[in-house]
Chains A and B, each alone.
Chain A
Amino acid sequence: MLISEETRKKLAELKDKYPTRQASIMPALHLVFDEFGYLGVEQLDEAADIIGVSRLDMNETASFYTLFPKQKVGKYLIQVCTNLSCALMGADNLVEYLEEKLGIKLGETTPDGIFTLWNVECLGSCGTAPMMQVNDEYYEDLTREKVDELIENWRKGEGS
């Protein structure tokens, strides 16, 4: 059993909360994500058994939402928007700079497990492009200097 007792309890509460079992899949995905930071097949299967839907349905739904990582990611999940407005404002350069700085390619995680770098589609913050989302926070109007500072801080945070 991978899922903690506490999460299992919350999942069990979802089971008959909605008119259909299917409806409890989304909140269940969030619960599993909150605990693990990603959705692995094994965790999804366990959760499916608890909320009473098929393992298949659970995995299908999870696969639809690309915003949930399916494998373990770094402590800081950096998601750079590369959609139109951001692209016009230099998102590609930003990605390149981040790749260089972190020493990884898009989609990869640093060997120390601190950073993961992804690109995503429009995050609805076009007016402040280019931008990125790191875990639950938005960082906007980005420049190289700002990025340097942010990364520096996070790295420091890890060191201490």
Chain B
Amino acid sequence: MADQVTLTIEGREVTVPKGSTILDAATRLGIVIPTFCWDPRLRSIAACRMCLVEVEKSPKLVTACAAPAMDGMVVKVFSDKAVNGRKAVMEFQLVNHPLDCPTCDKGGECELQNHSFSHGPGQKRTSEPRNRVIFDGKYVFDEIPIGPVIWYNSNRCIKCYKCTRLVKEIAGDADLGAFNRGYKTILHRHKNVPFKSEFSGNTVQYCPVGALVADSFRFKERTWMLEQTPSVCHLCGDGCNTALWHQGQKLFRIYARWNNHVEDGLICDRGRFGGLYADDERRLQHPQIRKEGKLVEVSWNEAIRYVADMLENIMDKHGGESIGFIGNEMLSNEEAYLFNRFARQVIGTNNLDFRFEDRHLPSKELNFHLLSIMSDRVPYIDFKKFDNILFVGADSEVRHPVLTLWVKRAIYSGASRTYAAYHRKTDYNLHPAESIEYFPQGEYNFLLCLYKALKGDDIKDITSSAGVRAEDVEKWAEDFKNGKTLIFAGEDVYNNPRGTENIQLIEAIRDLLGQESKVNILFDGANYIGNILCGATPGILPFGVDNIYDNRKALADSWGAEKLSDSEGMNTAEMLNAAAEGKLKALFILGADPVGFYPGRGIAEKAMKKAEFKVVCETFLTETGKSADVVLPLAAFPEYEGTLISTEGRLQSFQKAYETAYTSAEGWRIMLRIMQKLGFEEDYNGPEDIWNEIGDNSEIFSNISHKGVSFRGLLIDMKFDKKRETDISGFEAVEAPKPPPEYPLILTYGTSVYQKRHLTHYAADMEKIEPGARIYMNTKNANSIDIHDNDTVRVSSGKGSLTLKLTTDQRVRPGTVFIPTNFIEAEFNTLLDSKADLTFVKVEKL
């Protein structure tokens, strides 16, 4: 065959696709050739020469990682010539190496140690002193901090350039490079640019030697003393596969587990370093009950009994409908399912929700619509099949670092062009996307413009309502007519006052673009889809069925319950409002912090004040926890197991690394014990039992055993194929936001790339990477009112004011400011009005 070549390696024949290297061919035969600088995700640069092999008729040894396999080639890997060649390379590598394995953190998992043991000469012949790079006398062990959380030791570095290539070629960041030449080469950052790539931690994992070391692991423990447990990152919806390295109940580090369909071995720093919060000693240690106005420590038994008694009391007095349940999008499927049984069956209410960081929450119809779109989604590895990739309403690099990595690959390889529409410029680094910035919450007007432009209508009259230029939108429309387009609908598209219309418009646009174009919905949160499918929203019962009479009846029968509540149920926004008005008497809050994160701090505080009884289960004491009547310490993710569904729709399981630390308990256990006190008669030994019940009763999850999802995960078939006919012909542009003169700027907010709510705050590394909250403002805007980078400013709205440091940022749209939500002490949500769609602010220099 023309596109195949056949060669002989060590006397064995092998056929590989044209373009494969000798290394690929040898791997296929199971022949191991040692490498340092080769990495399957990077282009070969043949820098280290470790992979030398002999090729018949070639006068010199060749590098297997770079030399293409050719028809009729005869390769010898273990001939004397090849073996001696590699021995010489090894000797060279070690000429200047300090051989400080006993104090090197890579010891035990170092490729230099391994290769030198298997391929090295065992002795060196030079007697000159080793070259030693000393940056300045300040740092012992010749290590210098090159980033906020990473150290570099040039003497150990073998110049394989993996680190800089990972950062540049894959993450697309320009902040780690190779300077100087020859033996004087050092890997370093640019003098004036900090090493802050959100993928920086991967350089530590893939450095073949101990030249790059993570601050959080440096001199902490020998690698062979640690155990590894497979896990899945909880800190965003991308579903990266991770390995937890631990010893007893101590978590030492989080590494990528390398699932080449998901994170491909590259996780972001939020997941790698931020996840270490699980190990922080500020965690809640004991159940606490408010007695005489103060939270005091009590035993688990007392706490559980108290919660059950109080809930029973309120049910007797006001009925189950007077109790609300607020969870969070990191709940595992098992937790979400139990959460739903707790609320619907044991308490008898449909007031339950797992979303609490947005106010404009999708209705059940919209959720069904989202799920039906996701039934035809595109998996990560297929992004590159699309010519155009369009993001709308998505801060994708920040909210979905690893999904965006797949998009970057599609861009960098030249397969796709990228277009980003958002109220802020999102940049795709080395190969920037085209970008359109509309007004905050301008998704609807923008999509309408794009739709009309695609249809060939004149859009001159409506573009100003979106704050965009007609020619930009028209150009995009032209571009999209060529080739296949993949549209990502971000969180801001559906968590939006016009969420339903937005999604209808996106579908209409996709239809205009033709059969081959697709839409993916982006979900922030480790288990957004799973939470919906397992019943954690009011309108949708477990396994994705509508909460209507027949379905309720069937569910009640399968649970052996008399009857389930017939009410509509409330979402989080409605629950908080009802509680603040005194209509909701009790709140059961599982891993959620509405006071800290709900957009409208006032209403959340009021709800906590007005409700008679509030239970908060949390890992750390949150703002919400401080005003609760009962605080129950929640286990952190290494301490329990379960399954999650990522934004890709991939079902994956994470394992328990060790028993719950401190005296915390797993979410499912806490709920089950309270439920049993309230008369629930079933029992589960653990998440696996709960999973089996889910599988037995649902079409989507049937035939998937708990063990079956354990390793690589599987893309679930959601089967929500209801085609919704919608008529969008009557859609008209709405008015553009008009800030009042006293508050001329529009406030936008969202997560920061390094953080997940308050949690990552408790990881020491994150504090170093991003030391505090700031407000971001467009440089021009700032200068026009004489404010400069690093000034301290006061931001005020009609609701409140904050004092923050300011960063000028070109990417912020003029007329708007951006505040990251992750800094609890900054209390960003005091500024927000829980009634108005948008919040207007003013900024003054202090």
Q: Determine if chain A interacts with chain B.
A: yes
Quick check: which of A31-39, A60-68, A95-103, A145-153 contacts chain B, the rest being far away? A60-68
Nearest CB in chain A: distance from B432 CB, A: 10
A56 contacts B181, CB within 8 Å?
no
Bound state CA distance, A28 and B498, in angstroms? 51
Nearest CB in chain A: distance from B176 CB, A: 8
With a cutoff of 8 Å between Cβ atoms, the chain B residues found around residue A54 in the complex are 174, 430
> What mask results when residues 171 to 198 of chain B are scored 1 for a CB within 8 Å of chain A, else 0?
0001111111100000001111100000
A60 contacts B191, CB within 8 Å?
no
A55-B190, A57-B177 are known; give 16 further A-B pairs, CB within 8 A: A41-B191, A41-B192, A45-B192, A55-B174, A55-B192, A56-B174, A56-B190, A59-B177, A59-B191, A60-B178, A60-B179, A63-B179, A63-B180, A63-B181, A64-B181, A65-B181
With a cutoff of 8 Å between Cβ atoms, the chain B residues found around residue A65 in the complex are 181
A-B contact count (CB 8 A): 33
With a cutoff of 8 Å between Cβ atoms, the chain A residues found around residue B189 in the complex are 56
Bound state CA distance, A63 and B185, in angstroms? 9
Nearest CB in chain A: distance from B434 CB, A: 16
Bound state CA distance, A64 and B492, in angstroms? 46
Bound state CA distance, A66 and B192, in angstroms? 21
Bound state CA distance, A66 and B184, in angstroms? 11
A56 contacts B192, CB within 8 Å?
no
Bound state CA distance, A56 and B180, in angstroms? 13
Bound state CA distance, A54 and B176, in angstroms? 11
Closest 7 interchain pairs by CB? A54-B174, A56-B174, A60-B177, A63-B179, A56-B190, A56-B177, A64-B181
A64 contacts B180, CB within 8 Å?
yes
Bound state CA distance, A63 and B174, in angstroms? 16
With a cutoff of 8 Å between Cβ atoms, the chain B residues found around residue A55 in the complex are 174, 190, 192-193
Chain A positions near chain B (C-beta within 8 angstroms): 41, 45, 54-57, 59-60, 63-66
Main SS class of interface, B? loop
With a cutoff of 8 Å between Cβ atoms, the chain B residues found around residue A57 in the complex are 174, 177
A59 contacts B181, CB within 8 Å?
no
Bound state CA distance, A56 and B178, in angstroms? 9
Bound state CA distance, A57 and B168, in angstroms? 10
Nearest CB in chain B: distance from A42 CB, A: 9
Pairs A–B under 8 Å by Cβ, sample size 17? A41-B191, A41-B192, A45-B192, A54-B174, A55-B174, A55-B190, A55-B192, A56-B174, A56-B176, A56-B177, A56-B189, A59-B177, A59-B179, A63-B179, A63-B181, A64-B181, A66-B181
Bound state CA distance, A65 and B180, in angstroms? 8
With a cutoff of 8 Å between Cβ atoms, the chain B residues found around residue A56 in the complex are 174-177, 189-190, 193
Nearest CB in chain A: distance from B611 CB, A: 54
> What mask results when residues 153 to 176 of chain B are scored 1 for a CB within 8 Å of chain A, else 0?
000000000000000000000111
Bound state CA distance, A75 and B505, in angstroms? 67
Nearest CB in chain B: distance from A3 CB, A: 17
Main SS class of interface, A? helix
Give the residue name and chain of the B residue nearest to A59 (CB).
B190
With a cutoff of 8 Å between Cβ atoms, the chain A residues found around residue B174 in the complex are 54-57
Bound state CA distance, A56 and B429, in angstroms? 13
Nearest CB in chain B: distance from A51 CB, A: 14
Bound state CA distance, A45 and B174, in angstroms? 13
Bound state CA distance, A56 and B172, in angstroms? 12
Nearest CB in chain B: distance from A19 CB, A: 13
With a cutoff of 8 Å between Cβ atoms, the chain A residues found around residue B180 in the complex are 63-64
Give the residue name and chain of the A residue nearest to B175 (CB).
A56
Give the residue name and chain of the B residue nearest to A58 (CB).
B190
With a cutoff of 8 Å between Cβ atoms, the chain B residues found around residue A66 in the complex are 181
Chain B residues numbered 393-449 whose CB sits less than 8 Å from any CB in chain A: 430
With a cutoff of 8 Å between Cβ atoms, the chain A residues found around residue B176 in the complex are 56
Nearest CB in chain B: distance from A44 CB, A: 10
With a cutoff of 8 Å between Cβ atoms, the chain B residues found around residue A60 in the complex are 177-179
Bound state CA distance, A55 and B174, in angstroms? 8
Bound state CA distance, A81 and B176, in angstroms? 33
With a cutoff of 8 Å between Cβ atoms, the chain B residues found around residue A45 in the complex are 192
Give the residue name and chain of the A residue nearest to B186 (CB).
A63
Name the residue in B178, B181, B190, B430 with the highest tally of chain A Cβ atoms < 10 Å from its Cβ. B190
With a cutoff of 8 Å between Cβ atoms, the chain A residues found around residue B192 in the complex are 41, 45, 55
Nearest CB in chain A: distance from B183 CB, A: 13
Chain B residues numbered 721-752 whose CB sits less than 8 Å from any CB in chain A: none
Bound state CA distance, A64 and B179, in angstroms? 6
Bound state CA distance, A45 and B191, in angstroms? 11
Nearest CB in chain B: distance from A4 CB, A: 22
Give the residue name and chain of the B residue nearest to A66 (CB).
B181
Nearest CB in chain A: distance from B341 CB, A: 54
With a cutoff of 8 Å between Cβ atoms, the chain A residues found around residue B177 in the complex are 56-57, 59-60
Bound state CA distance, A41 and B189, in angstroms? 13
With a cutoff of 8 Å between Cβ atoms, the chain A residues found around residue B430 in the complex are 54
Name the residue in B174, B189, B193 with the highest tally of chain A Cβ atoms < 10 Å from its Cβ. B174
With a cutoff of 8 Å between Cβ atoms, the chain B residues found around residue A63 in the complex are 179-181
Give the residue name and chain of the A residue nearest to B189 (CB).
A56
Nearest CB in chain B: distance from A12 CB, A: 18
Nearest CB in chain A: distance from B235 CB, A: 28
Give the residue name and chain of the A residue nearest to B430 (CB).
A54
Bound state CA distance, A1 and B178, in angstroms? 27
Bound state CA distance, A99 and B181, in angstroms? 27
With a cutoff of 8 Å between Cβ atoms, the chain B residues found around residue A59 in the complex are 177, 179, 190-191
Nearest CB in chain A: distance from B157 CB, A: 15
Nearest CB in chain B: distance from A26 CB, A: 15
With a cutoff of 8 Å between Cβ atoms, the chain A residues found around residue B175 in the complex are 56
Bound state CA distance, A145 and B180, in angstroms? 37
With a cutoff of 8 Å between Cβ atoms, the chain B residues found around residue A41 in the complex are 191-192
With a cutoff of 8 Å between Cβ atoms, the chain A residues found around residue B178 in the complex are 60
With a cutoff of 8 Å between Cβ atoms, the chain A residues found around residue B179 in the complex are 59-60, 63-64
Bound state CA distance, A29 and B191, in angstroms? 18
Bound state CA distance, A63 and B188, in angstroms? 12
Nearest CB in chain A: distance from B559 CB, A: 59
Bound state CA distance, A55 and B193, in angstroms? 9
Give the residue name and chain of the A residue nearest to B176 (CB).
A56
Bound state CA distance, A28 and B773, in angstroms? 39
Bound state CA distance, A83 and B178, in angstroms? 26
Nearest CB in chain A: distance from B170 CB, A: 15
Bound state CA distance, A66 and B175, in angstroms? 22
Nearest CB in chain A: distance from B184 CB, A: 9
Name the residue in A45, A63, A64 with the highest tally of chain B Cβ atoms < 10 Å from its Cβ. A63
With a cutoff of 8 Å between Cβ atoms, the chain B residues found around residue A64 in the complex are 179-181
Nearest CB in chain B: distance from A87 CB, A: 18
Nearest CB in chain A: distance from B6 CB, A: 35
Name the residue in A41, A56, A63 with the highest tally of chain B Cβ atoms < 10 Å from its Cβ. A56
Bound state CA distance, A59 and B193, in angstroms? 12
Bound state CA distance, A41 and B174, in angstroms? 15
Bound state CA distance, A65 and B181, in angstroms? 8
Bound state CA distance, A41 and B190, in angstroms? 9
Nearest CB in chain A: distance from B404 CB, A: 19
Bound state CA distance, A55 and B194, in angstroms? 12
With a cutoff of 8 Å between Cβ atoms, the chain A residues found around residue B181 in the complex are 63-66
> What mask results when residues 182 to 220 of chain B are scored 1 for a CB within 8 Å of chain A, else 0?
000000011111000000000000000000000000000
Nearest CB in chain B: distance from A29 CB, A: 14
Bound state CA distance, A54 and B191, in angstroms? 13
Bound state CA distance, A45 and B178, in angstroms? 16
Nearest CB in chain A: distance from B516 CB, A: 31
Nearest CB in chain A: distance from B727 CB, A: 46
Bound state CA distance, A57 and B430, in angstroms? 11
Bound state CA distance, A56 and B196, in angstroms? 13
Bound state CA distance, A97 and B370, in angstroms? 81
Bound state CA distance, A65 and B182, in angstroms? 11
Bound state CA distance, A64 and B180, in angstroms? 4
Bound state CA distance, A56 and B192, in angstroms? 10
Nearest CB in chain A: distance from B200 CB, A: 14
Nearest CB in chain B: distance from A147 CB, A: 30
Bound state CA distance, A63 and B177, in angstroms? 11
Bound state CA distance, A91 and B781, in angstroms? 61
Bound state CA distance, A70 and B177, in angstroms? 17
Nearest CB in chain B: distance from A120 CB, A: 13
Bound state CA distance, A45 and B430, in angstroms? 16
